[in-house]
């Protein structure tokens, strides 16, 4: 089954009516939040730009295949709005069937993301053993 078919199956799936274990939910939520904080710390630590190192003009997070925020680091809130706009557009334009392990999309078109030209978005698909994407880690920074 292709990734595109998997995505269609996910988007048309009915929400489960079964009760979510609150402890498991909190464990998963905190694990995802901590992963975004690690992404954020790594980006700041390895950056050459003053905008990233001292002004903290960057964001990190996980989004689902529709561009909805799953988890985010404590970063620049202005980027979080544009993330939900650019991810579905970039993935649709490139073609989800063309994305696979090790691939990444780098986007800085202000007309697609309602942002300014210096914002660079790095979108990477992440999947488990199956062919379906679990989430898309994304980092945004202002490049100067």
pLDDT at 7: 46
* Residue range 64-80: mean pLDDT, rounded: 78
pLDDT over threshold 50, residue 1 = no
Q: Give the start-to-end residue ranges of the domains of the chain.
A: 3-11+19-142
Q: What is the CATH number of domain 3-11+19-142?
A: 3.30.450
Q: Comparing 67 with 94, which gets the higher pLDDT?
A: 94
Return the percentage of the chain with pLDDT > 90, whole number: 6
pLDDT over threshold 80, residue 121 = yes
Q: Comparing 127 with 42, which gets the higher pLDDT?
A: 42
pLDDT over threshold 80, residue 79 = no
pLDDT at 122: 85
- For 54-105, what is the HEC assignment? CCCCEEEEEECCCCCEEEECCCCHHHHHHHHHHHHHHHHHHCHHHCCCCCCE
């Amino acid at each position: 089954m292709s990734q595109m078919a998997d995505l269609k199956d996910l988007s048309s799936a009915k929400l489960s009516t079964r009760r979510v274990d609150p402890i498991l939910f909190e464990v998963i939520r905190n694990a995802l939040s901590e992963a975004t904080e690690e992404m954020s710390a790594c980006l700041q630590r390895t950056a050459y730009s003053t905008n990233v190192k001292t002004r903290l003009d960057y964001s990190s997070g996980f989004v689902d295949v529709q561009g909805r925020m799953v988890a985010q680091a404590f970063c620049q809130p202005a980027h979080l709005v544009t993330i939900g706009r650019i991810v579905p557009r970039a993935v649709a334009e490139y073609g989800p069937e063309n994305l696979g392990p090790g691939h990444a999309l780098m986007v800085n078109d202000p007309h697609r993301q309602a942002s300014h030209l210096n914002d660079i978005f790095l979108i990477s698909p992440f999947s488990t053993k199956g062919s379906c994407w679990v989430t898309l880690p994304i980092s945004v920074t202002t490049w100067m």
